[in-house]
Every structure is written in C-alpha cells, then in structure tokens.
A = this chain, B = another copy of it.
Amino acid sequence: MQRILSDQLPYQAGRPVTLSGWIHRRRLLKSVAFLILRDRAGLAQVVVAEPHARAALDRLGEETVVRITGQVRENPAAPGGFEVVQPVIEPLSDPAEPPPVELHRPQLNAGLSTLLDHAPVTLRHPSWRRVFEVSAAVVSGFRGALTESGFTEIHTPKLVASATESGANVFSLDYFGTRAYLAQSPQLYKQMMVGVFERVFEVGPVFRAEPHDTSRHLAQYTSLDAELGFIGDHRDVMAVVHKAIGGMVAGVSTVDAVVPEAIPEVHFADAVRMVGEALGEDLSAEPDLAPAHERWLGEWAAREYGSDFLFVTGYPLAKRPFYTHPEPGREGYTNSFDLLYRGVEVVTGGQRLHRYGDYLAALAERGEPADQYEPYLQAFRYGMPPHGGFAIGLERFVARLLGLPNVRQAALFPRDLHRLTP
C-alpha cells in the first residue's frame, strides 16, 4: 500500500492506510499503548492494543523508523482528530539507541552547547525544525520578489585573491601554491554583474574569521545579496529592500510580522541627536550606532510609526566601506542605509561609487593599494551605471523574526570560534 503522510489521515477515515516515520513518543500503559509517529507533515497517533503490535513496540525505542499499516478512526481526543488503530508495525531501521536529547518533550531543555553537539538529532524536534522551514520560506520569498522585479540569480567565487571588505577577519588558505581567501561577501562580483544583467541577486555562504564569541557572530553565514543599476540614489535600493523584505515575511504565515506600506526613515545625524537626547549621552562625535542605540530607535519607530522596521540613512563615510557613495552636499555622510527590525540591524546597503576614478581616489584615501582590486575594477573602466545594493544575513534575520536569542539557533550546523562539528 502506498504511504500517506500524517496530515492526510482525515481524508482516509475508515480506510486502511500505511504511514512511515519516526517513533516520536511511546506511552506504554498496561492495557494499551500509544505510539506518536512523526513524519515530515507532522504527528499521528497510533493506538496499539493487539499483543503482536505491542510486543513490537516494546522492543523499538524512540526515533526508530517504522512503517505502520492500520485503520483510520475518527477520535476527537487524538491530535488532529484522527488516529490509526489495529496497527502492524514494521521497523525500517535498527532499533534506535535512546536519543541524547528528549525529542518528545514540547521544548528541549538541554543547554545550547549540548543541543548543537547533537544537532543531527536536535534538529528533528518540531520547534527546531520549524526554524529551518521558516528559513527556507524566507529565502524563497526573497528570490520570488527579486525574480519578479527582473533580477537574475548568480553564483560567484568563494575563493578570492584578496580580502574584499578589509584585511581583518578573513580566512586564508593555500591555493595551488598561492594565497587565497574565503570571500567575506560577493560585493565586488555582484557589482561587476550589474554591468552584465543590471539586476542580480545571490544566495550563498560568506565567511568571517570572527574572533568574537557572541550570540550574534558566525564564521559562516548565508548572505542574501542584491545589486541593481540605473538608480537615482540609495532610495531606489531601499524600495527594492522593501519589496524583498515583504516577500520574505509573506512566505512565513506562522509569524505575525507586518511590513508597513511605507517603512519610516531617519537620517543618521537625526538618529544620533535623538538617541543622545533621550539617553542623556553626547553622541555628536559617534560614527556608528551601538546596539543600545539601535534598540532605542526600534522602540521609537514602534511608538511613533507603529512600525517594526526603520531605515536609518546617511551613515558616516568613516564607518562604511570604500565603495560607498558619498551623500551629495553633506560632507562626511553617505548614500547608505541600514534597516533595523525591532531594533536590530538586519539589512545593510546603499549606493556605490560607479566611476573608475572615484574608486582610485577612495582606495588612495584609505591607503589601500589599488592593484589588488584591479582585476575587479576593470568593470568600472568600461562603463558602469549608477548602482547600489544590499545584503541580508539570513540567520540573523530568521533569528529576529522568530525571537531566537542566539543566531546559532538559526544556523543549520553553526560554525564559530569553538565549533567546527558536527
């Protein structure tokens, strides 16, 4: 008999069915036993009363994979309103060892480090699994919104000849006798590809040799990147961010996040002034926002605009990368932005320089040699339109969306200062 999934039981009432999955939980009472079966669609209750099936179940621990053939019966007390009775239970795996984490509990209560050590098992828990269902939906929403807007998907090199963002925090390796680096972002490649497709996006891993052991840092994360040409300024990029974020949140029906029709904006200079006044600090010389300042701004946006989202624009040049476009008529500021979601930065973007001479000047200004960028700066010698783009850290976004305290809970097998397995 062909296997059905647990969520199909209501359509098979009174009929024989075959289910397959993991023994999520056993309740072995004296006269009867209950087996909760877990498959990719959810959970199903199986009532084990017959001696032969009971003997089989007694031998098979939680997480053993089984095939169950039985009759579907309506039972308002069962999860989902239906259950399987008169089961024949057939193991598809060896009897499982007792799992290192108690998957049948509503919440896993071991420490994060233990849970991550046992990630192949931990991830089977519905609450953990759900994070990565949300993650997949978010990525799908990102791609859908951009594809609809004429963007082309690209796949760029992760092995590069020079560090793109700065010399710090970069992994290096021997590449057939020369030195290579793991890409910290697809920045220069997505810009080059504006010269080809005008509008491009990439979903891929980026690598940061972060020496920080915090709840926000990972050594590898998934970056959602986009870049587009023929913009007026960074506001055209922000419009695409708005659309992308809308798509990302729309795909996740189980989360009550709302992207407003217009996302409020505040200029960095005004943000710093407001935060400084509110917190009684002199921030006039600050080139960046500290996490506490972002939190305050998040609360302010919720209070003033009823919005979970807030664009902060015009960040000082001192804190932005060399390719950032200055703000016309406002010395020291840039056509850049961050998007805060509930007081945490989840998107960074802006307008980029697009003239070759401007790149040479910007690199000279920062004391960086232009030759190491020359293979990439070619694109700018041969005509590039005004353009800009943005990047979203998938794990950080999902963690924020679900209210997870640690970004590691949104990374499938997180990599950090101390963790390289499993």
Interface-located stretch among A78-86, A188-196, A241-249, A278-286? A188-196
Say yes or no: A93-B385 contact (C-beta < 8 A), given A173-B173, A421-B375.
yes
> A residues 130-160 with Cβ under 8 Å of B?
132-133, 135-136, 139-140, 147, 150, 152-160
Say yes or no: A175-B171 contact (C-beta < 8 A), given A92-B386, A152-B133, A420-B161.
yes
| Separation of A65 and B198 alpha carbons in the complex (Å) | 12
Chain B residues in 8 Å Cβ range of A120: 192, 195, 376, 378-379, 382
Chain B residues in 8 Å Cβ range of A182: 173
A345 proximal to B (CB < 8 A) = no
A52 proximal to B (CB < 8 A) = no
A154 touches B132 (CB 8 A): yes
Chain B residues in 8 Å Cβ range of A375: 117, 421-422
Interface-located stretch among A43-51, A314-322, A351-359? A351-359
Say yes or no: A123-B193 contact (C-beta < 8 A), given A93-B354, A157-B413, A420-B161.
yes
11 further interface pairs, Cβ-Cβ under 8 Å (given A171-B174, A176-B209): A40-B197, A65-B385, A97-B382, A121-B195, A121-B379, A124-B195, A132-B152, A158-B207, A161-B420, A204-B205, A376-B422
Interface centre among A20, A94, A207 (most CB of B within 10 A): A94
Number of A residues, CB within 8 Å of B = 92
| Separation of A189 and B139 alpha carbons in the complex (Å) | 19
A159 touches B207 (CB 8 A): yes
A250 proximal to B (CB < 8 A) = no
Kindly report how many copies of this chain are found in the complex they form together: 2
A394 proximal to B (CB < 8 A) = yes
Chain A residues in contact with chain B, CB under 8 A?
3, 20, 22-23, 39-40, 63-65, 92-94, 96-97, 99-100, 117-121, 123-124, 129, 132-133, 135-136, 139-140, 147, 150, 152-161, 171-176, 178, 180, 182, 189, 192-193, 195-199, 203-205, 207, 209, 211, 219-220, 222, 230, 354-357, 375-376, 378-379, 381-386, 394, 412-413, 415, 417-418, 420-422
Chain B residues in 8 Å Cβ range of A211: 176
Chain B residues in 8 Å Cβ range of A412: 154-157, 189, 193
Say yes or no: A417-B381 contact (C-beta < 8 A), given A154-B132, A195-B124.
no
Say yes or no: A384-B196 contact (C-beta < 8 A), given A153-B136, A420-B178.
no
